[in-house]
Amino acid sequence: MKRIVWDDTLSTGNSLVDADHKRLIEMINHLFDAIERGTTSSKELNTIFDEIEAYTVYHFEREEALMHAECLSFKDAAEIEHHLQQHQNFVSAIPKLKEKLLRSSDKETAIGVVDFLAHWLLEHIIVEDLTLRQCFTKEQRSNNIIDLLVRKLSLSSRSLLIVVIPFIMLVGVSLLYSLSIFRDYQRLNDAYEISHVYMCVNTVSNVLQRERGLSQAFLSSDKGRFKEELTQQRQKTSEVIRTCHKNFAVMAKHHNINMEEDFSRLSQIRHSIDVRDTNASELMTQYTKIIDELILMVKKSNTIDGRIGKLNEPLIILLSLKENYGLLRMEGTKILQQPDKSLADFKELVILNKAYFNAFDLLAPEKFIRRLEQINNSENSQILIRMQDEIINHTESDLDPEVWFEEMSLKIENYAQLIDTMVSQMREDADRSMQEAYETLVVLWSLLVVMFLLSLWISIALKKSILQPIEAFTKSMQSLANGDKQFFINPYRKDDAIGKMTAAFDSFRRSLIQADYASILLDIKEQKAENYETLANLDPLTKALNRRGFMEHFEAAFNDAQMQQTPLSLLAIDLDHFKKINDTYGHDVGDLVLQRFVMKVQKMIRHEDSFARTGGEEFSLLLPATNKEIVLRIAQRILEETEAIDFSDISVGLHLSVSIGISQYREGYTITSLQKEADKQLYKAKENGRNQVVSS
């Protein structure tokens, strides 16, 4: 390695931080010089290293103090956190480096330690400190508003400032008006969304009311009547609830009404009805509670826009009226099936109907009042009035409960259709009002856009003459920084500052291209040398590493294991009876056996593992960062895969096995002792009969 020389390009802009970096460079150079002389004692080296360690800690503390003071609001906090973590990692690595330096008598190892320190320092300065340069430099801030604008706004923003200021005032007024319109739009949109819920409430309450009535009729019947109709109605109810589930979930959560729990009780209620294990009154109460919760949901949402909210109260009344008719249908069915039942509840429901009619007449729009009157004056309603009178007066008649149920269901369905009509009217009103609000906003902001474009046109000449050339120059420089030299700026004809900038850039780009081609020629020469170096490290027959290449890998892996305290295992492998194979089949077959064995092993190992032919039939396999259990499994697999190699194309009787000895790195081991231990275990494997693994 060479001595590190300080250059002002390494400056962070902070004289104290730069002074620390210069001092650390001097210390590392001093350590390098001491090692190069070869006469420095271990005590002196220890002193130099202690000084480096102490000053590094001092330097890190200074940097971290500056970061906390200047970069607390830095946009990339993760980058600062990474920087601080790198400090901690290096401080913890210094003692290991010192130990490695002092324990090794090898000059190459000592130079490696210094090289590591030098590379770390340069990376620390260039990659980390220069990236966070704003943390180390205090900006001289001025209270002058012009300087503030220059610092905060880009050139293009400043050029548009004159246009923007008057426009902002106009936009402010427009925003206030737009906000009012937007709030109206939100209320209208809420009403539109609520109308979906109203529609679902109407539909679900309708099917639940019919299911409740059929359930009551089924329970009051002793011959299983209404069973088929009840089953079909349950299916329809479940389907409608599934369809409306999403709307209910949103509204229920908003108004703190747990409809999910209510609907989940339906299965239990239905089961109780099927097995008749409780009284009918209690079960019907459960149905009624669910329907009441649905109507309560509508009541709680009665906060919609006044322009369409006039239908909200009549809707609630009509929903309650429909529910009252559902209860009346159920009570009438029970009375017809059980003539001795009390009429009190039935009469009360009839009276309540009249109260709902009166309330609807007071609150509903005229067209819906007339529609309700049409329903009440229909033939179906007249039939029901006569049937009510017969029930109340105990008139002897042959009224059929099923007829009563179906006639009542028809009227309830008519009310449900009227509710749907009213909800549709709400949705139409909301949609129309939202469209009007939207059109108003579009017109307002279209005028603002036109005014803005007219104002912007004034700045086009400035943009073309200054901003665009500067932007093109900036992109060109960024492209150069990213290695793209194909980007160039169109010639700028004027002989002004921008024209000179453009010409200087083009000259600089051409110089870089010339340097690149010179570098390419140099790379070709270096690649040839590297290819020769690679070939020198490979066994020509098997293309595995040779002893020279293996030792380079071994030394690097051994140093890593020492510094990082990670596992390192060495496998000494010997092909059993290989001489006999050569003698029996010839050396050509022996070479083929070696090649197939190497191919088999190379498929089983990782990229970071090192496999080499170190003798005629002797091989070594280095496994870094691998624990003992996995190493044993790998060795056993090599045994098994070797035995499985197919040589039937040569001779049916040709088989191959190997013996393996394993040694593992321990504190105090050297490369030589690790190799000797592996050879020792290999010898034991051969003594024990070959084709086996022996580990220390």
- Please tell me the pTM assigned to this model: 0.41
Q: Which of 198, 225, 200 shows the shortest CA–CA distance to 213?
A: 225
CB 214 within 8 A of CB 230: yes
Res 620 pLDDT > 90:
yes
Continuous segment of H or E residues that includes residue 610: strand 610-613
Q: Which residues pair with 659 in a beta bridge?
A: 574
Q: What is the pLDDT of residues 330-350, one digit of tens each?
A: 888 888 887 778 888 888 999
Q: What pLDDT is stored for residue 524 in this prediction?
A: 46
Rg, C-alpha atoms of the chain: 46
Mean pLDDT of the region 238-242: 86
pLDDT at 528: 46
Span 169-205, pLDDT tens digits: 888 888 888 888 888 777 777 777 777 777 888 888 8
CATH number of 469-529: 1.10.8
pLDDT at 230: 84
How many CB atoms within 10 Å of residue 549? Answer: 19
- 464 or 317, which is more confident: 317
| Entry field: residues in the chain | 696
Residue 72's pLDDT band, with cuts at 50, 70 and 90, is low
CATH number of 8-135, picked from 1.10.3720.10, 1.10.10.10, 2.40.10.220, 1.20.120.50: 1.20.120.50
CA 306 to chain centre: 44
Higher pLDDT, 334 or 568: 568
Tell me if residue 617 is catalytic: yes
Q: Give the sign of the dihedral formed by CA 36, CA 42, CA 47, CA 49.
A: positive
Using alpha carbons, select from 545, 555, 565 the residue that is nearest to residue 670. Answer: 555
User: For residues 534 and 95, what is the distance between their CA atoms, to the nearest angstrom?
Assistant: 35
Q: For residue 32, what pLDDT is reported?
A: 77
Tokens found for residue 544: 């595995």
Question: What is the torsional sign of CA 127, 129, 134, 139?
Answer: negative
Residue 140, pLDDT > 50, answer no
The answer to whether 295 and 315 have CB atoms below 8 angstroms apart is: no
At 661, phi and psi to the nearest 5? -115, 135
The pLDDT, as a whole number, for residue 108 is 72
**Helix, strand, or coil (residue 664):** strand
Active-site position among 63, 229, 331, 617: 617
Q: What gap in Å lies between CA 233 and CA 229, rounded to an integer?
A: 6
pLDDT > 50? residue 459: yes
Span 11-51, pLDDT tens digits: 877 888 888 888 888 888 887 787 777 666 777 878 887 88
Cβ neighbourhood burial of 684 (10 Å; 0-12, 13-18, 19+): middle
Find out if CATH 1.20.140.10 is the number for domain 537-695: no
